[in-house]
Amino acid sequence: MNKTRKVGLILGLLFLALPMVIAPPAGMSLMAWQTTGIALFLAAWWATEVLPIPMTSLLPLLLFPAFGVMTMAESSAPYARPTIFLLLGGFIIATALARWNLHRRLALNILVRVGDNPTALIGGFMAATAIMSMWISNTASTIMMIPIALSLANEVVRDHNKQHQGFVLCLVLGIAYAASIGGLGTPIGTPPNLFVVSFMRENYDIEISFLTWMTFGIPTVIIMVPVAWFVLTRWAYPFNLSDAPVAQDMLQEELRDMGPMTVAQKRVAMVFLLVAASWILRVPIQKNLEILLWVNDAMIAVGGAALLFIVPSGCGQDKGSALLDWDTANRIPWGVLLLFGGGLSLAAGVKTSGLAVWLGTAMAALGTMPLILMVLSLVALVVFLTELTSNTATVATLLPVLAALSASTGIDPMMLFAPVALSASCAFMLPVATAPNAVIYSTGKVTIPQMANAGFRLNLVAIIVVTSLSYALVPIIFG
């Protein structure tokens, strides 16, 4: 166990023991005080990864019953919320896209249309990555794009000229940053988005549809991707290279090597488009036609996933085999589902114990702060906090606190939740901040100081953009 984990181990246990040796603050019940200790314990262990994050995420099942906050049944119920199954279905569909290389075909079709200009090529890579990250995991998008980018870089860059190195840095960093930004566009793009959607349903009985979130998330992506491209190519690592026709030749060749769309790719695309259209059109159909009122986004995701095990691939020796088998589907990130459930269980404990009410009363004074300054402070805190902590764990820890603040001040909770969800995916400085950052760092094409240099600048810009967009759009879209 390294030093960080040892510190986290001791700190977490101290937090857990705190309610046993110190009386609760004025006005706080013993149960709320014990929940505070559990929340701080989980935050410390999530942040330092004393145990693997998924294992720590299961500890509410032990701690809440042990301290009398909730029963085992109450503690475990959040692990099976509809949102968990929406995420599960989305992961399975994304696995099918990857199995049949449909995401690679999409990326290459975008890239061959951006021309020979090196800065335009970087923009094309970022756009392709962002589009894919709306529907498949940020990590998978990055892993898929990096080999193409490195092959292209090897063709364009023949020496260690400063201009060439600037191009390579912008290319690989652009892919990582676009993967994180693209995830903001849809509820399933990145777990913090879905956590907010689930939290609103569970605590406020408010349904945020797929289309409603996209109305907020897509404009954010459309603005942030060009902003990130500008920060990289014009501010952090500007370069001046002539056009690179060899790059287009290579991309065209890769696309030709893939051949025409296979039967399996067409069928996976049809299932994906059916699911995406159903997510987008569900609420308008239910509101205007008053039919299928029992359908929700989780059911659509699970139904789409099930189709993949039924529809034959039409390819290979056994053309009757399904588009997806369980051995392939079983590779989905199960740990993310456990982290999600643990966060929802923690939120339930904060509410049940009365801690949420106490926090709301304690933070009532913050209501005197101008709203835009409050949002700006929250966004800045989360952006830099998630450089070192899991974005989902951070959101899971903060949302119950912000819910209490919302209740005590009368602020629309989405004015706090939405910017926190976005900013949790805007940590661009360190390899440990996000999986895409770690993937591109592992290529050896970028050092930590180089990533921190570009990432710090983009963090600052992201704070301004997320604050401004949230302040302008949240009252219109979610109000």
Residue-wise pLDDT tens for the chain (479 aa)? Answer: 788 899 999 999 999 999 999 999 988 999 999 999 999 999 889 878 899 989 999 999 999 999 999 999 999 999 998 888 988 998 898 889 889 988 888 888 888 888 778 888 899 999 999 998 998 888 888 888 888 888 777 766 655 556 678 888 999 999 999 999 999 999 988 989 999 999 999 889 998 989 999 999 999 999 999 999 999 999 999 987 766 666 677 888 888 998 899 999 999 999 989 998 998 888 889 888 889 989 988 899 999 999 999 999 887 666 678 999 999 999 988 988 898 889 889 888 988 998 878 877 777 767 778 999 999 999 998 999 888 777 888 888 889 889 988 888 889 999 999 999 999 999 999 887 888 888 888 888 898 889 999 999 999 999 999 999 999 999 999 97
- Copy the structure tokens of residue 120: 């335009």
Residue 146 has, within 13 A of its CA and on its CB side, a CA count of 23
- Copy the structure tokens of residue 91: 């992961």
461 CB contacts (<8 Å, ≥6 apart)? 227, 231
- Copy the structure tokens of residue 395: 């959101």
pLDDT given for residue 243 in this prediction = 64
pLDDT given for residue 461 in this prediction = 97
Cα angle value 205/208/212 (rounded, 5°):
155
- Copy the structure tokens of residue 234: 């014009």
Interatomic CA distance for residues 117 and 122, integer angstroms? 9
Q: What is the DSSP-derived secondary structure letter of residue 442?
A: T
Tell me the three state secondary structure of residue 312.
strand
What's the residue count for the chain? 479
pLDDT given for residue 318 in this prediction = 66
Task: Give DSSP secondary structure letters for 117-144.
Answer: -HHHHHHHHHHHHHHHHTTS-HHHHHHH
Interatomic CA distance for residues 239 and 330, integer angstroms? 43
pLDDT given for residue 410 in this prediction = 87
pLDDT given for residue 156 in this prediction = 66
**Residue among 300, 303, 324, 329 nearest 313 (CA):** 324
Task: Provide the b/e sequence for 70-81 (b: ≥16 CB within 10 Å).
Answer: beeeebbbbbeb
Distance set, CA 187 to CA 68, 137, 366, 395, 398 (Å): 34, 12, 29, 14, 19
193 CB contacts (<8 Å, ≥6 apart)? 183, 184, 186, 187, 213, 217, 421
- Copy the structure tokens of residue 168: 């390579």
Q: Give the DSSP H or E segment for 402.
A: helix 391-409
Q: Where on the phi/psi map is residue 173: left (φ > 0), alpha (ψ -120 to 50), or beta?
A: alpha
Can you give the pTM of this predicted structure?
0.79
